[in-house]
Structures are given as C-alpha cells and as structure tokens.
Amino acid sequence: MPASPAPAYLDPQSRLIALLEQALRQVAAEVATNLPLQVELERPKQASHGDFACNVAMQLGKAMKRNPRELAQAVIAALPASDLLEKAEIAGPGFINLFLKPAAWQGVAAEVLAQADAYGSGNLGRGAKVQIEFVSANPTGPLHVGHGRGAAFGASLSNVLKMAGYEVQREYYVNDAGRQMDILALSTWLRYLALCGEVVPFPGNAYQGDYVSTMADGIYALHQDRYQRPTAAVMKGVAAAEEDAEAHLDALIANAKSLLGPDYAYIHGYALEEQLGDCRNDLTEFGVTFDTWFSEKTLHESGLIDRAVEQMKKHGHLYQQDGALWFRSTAFGDEKDRVVRRENGSYTYFAADIAYHINKFERGFDRVLDVWGADHHGYIPRVKGALTAAGLDADRLTVALVQFAVLYRNGQKASMSTRSGQYVTLRELRNEVGNDAARFFYVLRKSEQHLDFDLDLAKSQSNDNPVYYIQYAHARICSVLNSWGGLERDLLDADSGLLQEPRELALLKRLAEFPETINTAARELSPHVIAYYLKELAADLHGLYVACQFLVADEALKQARLLLIAATRQVLNSGLALLGVSAPEKM
RNA sequence: GCCCCCGUAGCUCAGUGGAUAGAGCAUCCCCCUCCUAAGGGGAGGGUCACACGUUCGAUUCGUGUCGGGGGCACCA
C-alpha cells in the first residue's frame, strides 16, 4: 500500500527562523537594504528571556546605523501570524525574545516515537564521504589507556557523523612494516631461543612484556626448536649494548634476518598476527570496530611510496643532501626539512605516511579525518605540506588531537610508566570499571583537554557517577512502562496537549534539542556534547519523575505522560548508543 | 629557544561576541503511605590567571606576561 506522505514535521526552531526571515525581508524592503538576512537563534540562559532570543536587530542596527530597538520593533510588527508564538518582546539593547506556546513543543514527543532511532538524524553532512582513521597503535603490544581514549573518541565521533548525514568509513592504519615490528619479532625470537636452551642476553630496550614470552611459548609449542640458532651466531659482530643500545638492537635484528632467512618472516608474521588479533579483540569488546585495517606494508610492496615520492619530486619539492632524500617542508610552514629516504636507502615512516595520505585522497573521500595523540601535533604541518607538495588540497584533511588521559585512584595518580612494559592496559581498565563507564568517561571531556580519569568514581554505583545517573533514568522509564504493560505505538495518538506542567514542558524542550545537539557535536567534532546533553536530559527526567505520577487514573493524561517518557527513553537510548554505552532496562 | 593545548566555584569540568557565567562533587538544610531515593528541592560559594587592545558590548577575539601539561629524530 502506498505510504501516505507523513505531514512534514518541522521543529519549532526551524519554523521560527522562517518566520523571522520573512519578517526581516519585509523590514529590509522598507528600508531598501540588501544586507544578508541570516537569522540565528540562541537559547537564552534565563527562562524570563523566552524560549529563543534573536540578536539580528543589533547586528543590522550596526550595519544600517539605526537604533536596534526600533529595528526590533519593526521586525516584531512584521512577524506573520503563527500558532507557534505566544509573544515576542524587545529586551535589553535590542534582543527579540520569543516565547512559544506549549503547542510548539507538545508535538515533539510523538515525533520522537514515530521516527524512533532516526530521530536526531540530520543532513549536515549531505552524504559527503568522510574517512576517519583512529587508534592505529603499533601492533607491538597491548593497547594502553591512552589508546583507549582515542578509540572511544573516534568510535563515538564516527557514530555522531553518521547520524549527522555523513557517509563514514572507519580505518585503522597498521604499522606492520617498521623497525618497531622488527624489534618485536626479535624480542619474541630471543625469548624463544631461551626456551630452546640458548643462553642469550635480552636487551633492555627490547620489548619486556610478558606477552612476548607468551608468543615465544606459542611458537615453541608449534615448532619446537625449528627456529633455534646458536647464540654465538646470534651475537656475532654485535657491539655491546652499553655503547649504543639502538645500534646493538639493529645489529641483532640484522643477524636474525640473515640467520633465519625466510623463517624470519614467519616469526615476524606470528608476532604481528598475535598482537593485531589481541588489539582487534580488545577493541571489539570495547564496542569499537573498523571497516578497514590498512597495512603499511602494502604501501611499500605496491610501490605506492615510490610513486608518492616521484609525485613530490615532479613538483620540485625534494632534494638530495648528505646521502638522504629530503622534503623541503619548510616551504609549507614546517620548522625544518624532513628526510623522506634515509642514507641507507630505506624510506622513513614519514614517506609511508605521505603515500598513505595520498592514497586516502585518491580513494575518493570528500574529507579525511585523522585522530592523533596530542604528542603528534608537530607532525601536522609536514603531512599537510606533503599533500600540498603532491598537488592535493590539504584542507580536506582534518587532524583531531586527543590529549592524554591520566588515571586517578584514591585521589592519587595511578602509575603509568611506559618503561619495562608496566603501563596500565585498556583491558585492565575495562575489567576494572566496565565498558560503559570507560566509554563514557573517555568522552566526557573535550578531546583537547587533559583527562583526569577517576577510577573510583567510574566504578562507584552511586548517584555521583554520571553513567549510572543517565542509565538509571532509562531504567526508571522502562520500569514504569513495564508496570503499565501497554504497547508503545498506541501512545502515538495520546493528547499531548495535556502536557502542561513546567517539568513536562522542560522535558519536551530538551527532546527537541537533540537534533541540534547532534549537529553541534558533528560540526565541532565533539562527542562530549552528547554526554553533557544526556546528563541534562536525565536530570529533566528525574525531576519530572519525582514531581509527578505517570500511571494516573485519568486515562488521557496517563497516555500523554507515557508518551512523553517513552519518547525520553528513545532519545536516551539513541544518545547512549552514540557513545557506545548500554541502556539497561533494569538496574 | 620555537610550536600546540590548558588556566572559569574548595575539587572535577561545561559554556558563550551579548542581558544576573552554569553542572556534578564537597559543605549545610529539607523531601519516600507513591511507577526503582542509583532520585528530587533549597542555601552558601566567582576579579572567568593577569594586563593592554578591537567592539555598542569581551569570560569568549587579538597581543603580551605569569602559571600547568605536551611536542620539537635519517623513531614510529
């Protein structure tokens, strides 16, 4: 059957803007001006200033050299009749304060239920394809709590962008080709050799974590001493670690490669698979998933790096010096030039990253978003410079920086020493505070703000804990709806005109704010906006809960109130889902 | 030295070119005969680090100073 076209629902704010623009055109015609007539509304902090305030008269007053209050009066006089508006008044230096009739808000509850999960979706993105790359930790060991913040931020932001009308692709860049991976392979092999009975010293700057020994155990169990080589050969020509620890490590890696031959790839691959698999499981348990895992190795193997370098060379931005190939990044605002190909002929990480970003652009994304730890901020000018040097529009790349998270326990900073592998892992954090609290606390702060992560608070099952506060609101609604026992869809016909109490109206207004909240979060790349919105929504619900009974004898009023809280449950559910936090029905 | 982030209530943090700057915690007072008190109501608490500038209007923008954190590799 043909779907009858639903009456186009327009939120009160959009309708109001249309009214004001209409009035403004009329006023502008009277004074023969062609000033830009964009109307923006703000929500006043004070209820006595109305539901919305408009400062257009003050802006125009300045440009037209007319008294803002007079202009405001003219705009108000020109406002078309509407069932929306209770009154409009001039205030202060020329604000137009707008007071809406309850009817303007009452419709929102049914709208929420009708749209269900789609409520809040917007068209800010206009279907633009955006790629978001995040986490991208080296697969050389377990993820730590710093990665966790990037993971929670990136995942929540992806959800927000999708809801705001972007086509989102999530990607993890796997650094499977660099020296760090060689060090991991070497570390694993050395532990393995010990299992084979070789007495070989384990360098202090190799990977110390227990997981390395675990991998060695695994390889030994599968292949016994197949990869054993004599200690003397392993140590042959290797200078003492005391002289140059890094050179010591590199010499060991070189020996491992030559002694193992094709078997080196097996050790390397085993370690990579184990660590990447562990990382993937960890993230999946955390509710963080990716569409693509992009291998750095493939950049080398497919010749993409050679091509990228050629591309930059063609544009004349590379030069040879001291046996290395340099990118003149200072021409693009970087503080010094950067090496692209080392004296020994190998490419730097930077070269791979240039190729990677060129590749991202060539894959047809309208916008490319990188989520990096704040310690990488100095890296931005050179990557953008490289893209420009390759003839691409670097403005399509946005880098979102995420600051560090510091754990606190009993009011004390929890130790997070990176040395000797003693850092707190994401998995430990999740086990301690739970996924919900971890996801929520990670995005509770602006990403560019340092995060003090209070473990005791995150764990506490009390009203101090914002996660429980919000989830409790959801559970309370579920409890009421269960007691009622009816079907939610029957509430769509409820008479929302009966919702007149101040707290009911406050909640309705809050529900109406959800779409613009999503827009703001998407525009500002700030999922924390969602977290704050949910706290306020939950507060409105709790306030109403204490103030009035839902399951009242008056059937019509009961239906109306149940409609309101059912809509609230929907928005709580949608909002929590954006943040990757569960919405329990019972607590 | 140069660059980036931050400085808002006792604490942790939101916020904004506008009208009396907010929330939670902590402190004090109050509210369950009732759908979950993991809740609600109220009180106190501020030179929005400081100075100067732009503006009709600055906590917000700009410059400088002072504090806190981070980054400045032929590492990734």
CATH of the domain at A476: 1.10.730.10
Q: Quick one: A476 and A540 in the same domain?
A: yes
Dig out the tokens for A112 from the structure. Answer: 């929420």
Task: Check whether A413 has a pLDDT greater than 60.
Answer: yes
Q: Quick one: A112 and A24 in the same domain?
A: no
Instruction: Please indicate, yes or no, if residue A71 is contained in any of the structural domains.
Output: yes
pLDDT interval class at A1 (50, 70, 90) = very low
Instruction: Please indicate, yes or no, if residue A129 is contained in any of the structural domains.
Output: no
Verify if strand B has an atom below 7 Å from the CB of A479. yes
Instruction: Please indicate, yes or no, if residue A118 is contained in any of the structural domains.
Output: yes
Tell the residue number behind the tokens 């009975």, with chain if given.
A197
Reading phi first (left if > 0) and then psi (alpha if -120 to 50, else beta), residue A549 is in beta
Q: Quick one: A29 and A81 in the same domain?
A: yes
* A24 within 8 A of A77, measured Cβ to Cβ: no
Closest nucleotide to the alpha carbon of A346, via C1'? B74
pLDDT interval class at A586 (50, 70, 90) = very high
Q: Quick one: A66 and A115 in the same domain?
A: no
User: For residue A209, which of A184, A230, A240 has the smallest C-alpha distance?
Assistant: A184
| Number of domains making up chain A | 2
Q: Quick one: A77 and A118 in the same domain?
A: no
Q: Quick one: A467 and A563 in the same domain?
A: yes
Verify if strand B has an atom below 7 Å from the CB of A445. yes
Q: Residue A287: CB partners within 8 Å, gap ≥ 6?
A: A155, A435, A439, A580
| Helix intervals (H) in A395-465 | 426-433, 435-442, 455-459
Q: Quick one: A89 and A116 in the same domain?
A: no
- Examine the fold and report which residue of A46, A66, A100 is the final residue of a domain before the chain moves on: A100
CATH code of the domain in which A52 resides: 3.30.1360.70
Instruction: Please indicate, yes or no, if residue A298 is contained in any of the structural domains.
Output: no
Q: Quick one: A575 and A518 in the same domain?
A: yes
Domain that holds residue A530: 108-124+463-579
* A410 within 8 A of A362, measured Cβ to Cβ: no
Q: Quick one: A509 and A553 in the same domain?
A: yes
Instruction: Please indicate, yes or no, if residue A476 is contained in any of the structural domains.
Output: yes
**Mean pLDDT of chain A, nearest integer:** 90
Q: Quick one: A31 and A117 in the same domain?
A: no
pLDDT in tens, A513-549: 999 999 999 999 999 999 999 999 999 999 999 999 9
**A363-CA/B62-C1' distance, Å:** 40
Region A488-500 average pLDDT: 94
Q: Quick one: A469 and A570 in the same domain?
A: yes
Q: Give the residue nearest to nucleotide B72 (CA to C1').
A: A378
Instruction: Please indicate, yes or no, if residue A34 is contained in any of the structural domains.
Output: yes
Verify if strand B has an atom below 7 Å from the CB of A532. yes
- Examine the fold and report which residue of A65, A100, A135 is the final residue of a domain before the chain moves on: A100
Instruction: Please indicate, yes or no, if residue A75 is contained in any of the structural domains.
Output: yes
DSSP letter at A425 equals B
pLDDT in tens, A178-206: 899 999 999 999 999 999 999 999 998 89
Instruction: Please indicate, yes or no, if residue A47 is contained in any of the structural domains.
Output: yes
Percent of chain A with pLDDT over 90: 68
Verify if strand B has an atom below 7 Å from the CB of A519. no
